[in-house]
Structure 1
Amino acid sequence: MTRIILVRHGETTWNIEGRYQGQEDTPLSERGLQQGQLLAEGLRHIPLDAAISSPLQRSCQTCQFCAGLHGLPVATDDRLLEINHGSWEGVLAGDIQKQYPKEIAQWHTEPHRVQMPGGGESLEDVRRRVRAAFDDYATRYQNKTVLVAAHDAVNKAIICDLLGLGMEHFWQIKQDNTCINVLEYNDGIWRIVLLNSTNHLGFLFSGIEQAGL
């Protein structure tokens, strides 16, 4: 069996502002740094064999907090990069609503039909590359536990896919900053053991709805 502890990065300055981040390399906010440290403490006593992160600093630094307590290096995998939001990257959610009213409406109702404007990705693009990564991990890390640090859209897409759900179910999965998900692979079957846990932050659920997603 392969066990993957999948986490989302801590809060960023753009999360606070409600800007679409995509593959822009945004830093953690002060609260995001605190969340990363709390995540690390929450996983301190969980045996980890490897740590892998998106190369973007918000995920990599979150992963490093955790890996450091286990004496592990952090490997990076470009397949874990956040969705490329194209021309929406760096733009406030409210401004996107004004500039792309039809596209943003479809993004929130039919996300599986949206190709991000300006050379961005679709959720299917994200699903394919992240699923390839997870299939590799399942083979490479048999009988091991792997920490994987990624992003909101990445996590939602892979969780949907591993559950056999299409990308039209994307918005039915929530991923809070530094949430913990546990996924297990055994004999060709993936299962979800834990989803969007934030107990390490001191609450069962956040009630936070971020705009720049």
Structure 2
Amino acid sequence: MAVTRFILVRHGETTWNKEGRYQGQIDTPLTAFGREQGQLAAQALKDIPIDICYASPLSRAVDTAMMCVAAHGLAVNTDSRLLEINHGEWEGLLSDDVGKTYPELLAQWKSSVVGVTMPGQGGEDITTVRDRSMAAFRDFAARHQGQTVLVVAHDAVNKAVLCDILDIDLSHFWQIKQDNTCINVFEYQDGKWRLVLLNSTNHLGFLYSGIEQKGL
């Protein structure tokens, strides 16, 4: 079986990333800086062969994806399985406010995401996010054998997917970093995944950011 290559990108900075709010599935826009990041990612990918593009339907992912494929003349296909984790009642709240209202649950989430279900209607756990996201990636791998697939998604989605392809438990979630518009590359062949590149930010002008976002 031919190698299928995935380029996985996180969306650019949003207003709520900047403020330290939990976004989840609320549709927040890119900041002006987030758009600059998207254009820099697009520049980094303009000479890389890309056959098809998928993105979360949230505008921060779609807008980033549109910038990344503009030079390739490709459409952006949305897939709801790539949506960010639903944070339930945390969505829209500052990290500090979540800490005041849900101190024990937040401490558990920050230490090990496993077993934490976000409170309130629609709240998800990370295992659900991993399962729906990986179902999408397996579909893409079967549908686009031998091709290069660009996927633009979210922090929690990317981390869950990377844990899965590395065959490590989700308890390692916090050991993986995903900066805004970081580029990851991995491959699929004969039922096996191989990681090629992780959290690359060279296109943004630095090897590592030092940025720790509060709202996840």
TM-score, length-normalised on structure 1? 0.99
Match of 2:131 among 128, 140, 143: 128
Write the deviation string for residues 60-115 of structure 1: whole angstroms up to 9, x where unpaired.
00000011110000000000000000000000000000000000000011211100
Instruction: Tell me how far apart the structure 1 counterparts of residues 112 and 182 of structure 2 sit (CA, whole Å).
Output: 25
Q: 1:198 and 2:201 equivalent?
A: yes
Aligned residue runs from structure 1 range 182-193, under 5 A: 182-193=185-196
What is the identity percentage for the equivalent residue pairs of Structure 1 and Structure 2? Answer: 63
Instruction: Tell me how far apart the structure 2 counterparts of residues 134 and 112 of structure 1 sit (CA, whole Å).
Output: 21
Q: 1:209 and 2:212 equivalent?
A: yes
Match of 2:161 among 158, 161, 171: 158
Shift of 1:207: 0.5
Which amino acid in the other structure matches residue 56 of structure 1? L
Which amino acid in the other structure matches residue 198 of structure 1? T
Aligned residue runs from structure 1 range 100-179, under 5 A: 100-119=102-121, 120-179=123-182
Q: Which residue of 2 aligns with 1:77?
A: 79
Aligned residue runs from structure 1 range 55-66, under 5 A: 55-66=57-68
Instruction: Tell me how far apart the structure 1 counterparts of residues 41 and 131 of structure 2 sit (CA, whole Å).
Output: 28
Instruction: Tell me how far apart the structure 2 counterparts of residues 110 and 211 of structure 1 sit (CA, whole Å).
Output: 16
Instruction: Tell me how far apart the structure 1 counterparts of residues 100 and 127 of structure 2 sit (CA, whole Å).
Output: 26
Q: Which residue of 2 aligns with 1:45?
A: 47
Instruction: Tell me how far apart the structure 2 counterparts of residues 140 and 23 of structure 1 sit (CA, whole Å).
Output: 27
Instruction: Tell me how far apart the structure 1 counterparts of residues 4 and 112 of structure 2 sit (CA, whole Å).
Output: 33
Match of 2:19 among 17, 38, 51: 17
TM-score, length-normalised on structure 2? 0.98
Which amino acid in the other structure matches residue 150 of structure 1? A
Instruction: Tell me how far apart the structure 2 counterparts of residues 163 and 107 of structure 1 sit (CA, whole Å).
Output: 21
* Over 2 Å off, 4+ runs: none
Shift of 1:3: 0.3
Instruction: Tell me how far apart the structure 1 counterparts of residues 78 and 166 of structure 2 sit (CA, whole Å).
Output: 25
Instruction: Tell me how far apart the structure 1 counterparts of residues 125 and 165 of structure 2 sit (CA, whole Å).
Output: 18
Instruction: Tell me how far apart the structure 1 counterparts of residues 165 and 131 of structure 2 sit (CA, whole Å).
Output: 12
Shift of 1:149: 0.1
Q: 1:27 and 2:51 equivalent?
A: no
Find the residue that maps to 1:184 and give its secondary structure: strand
Which amino acid in the other structure matches residue 92 of structure 1? L
Find the residue that maps to 1:84 and give its secondary structure: coil
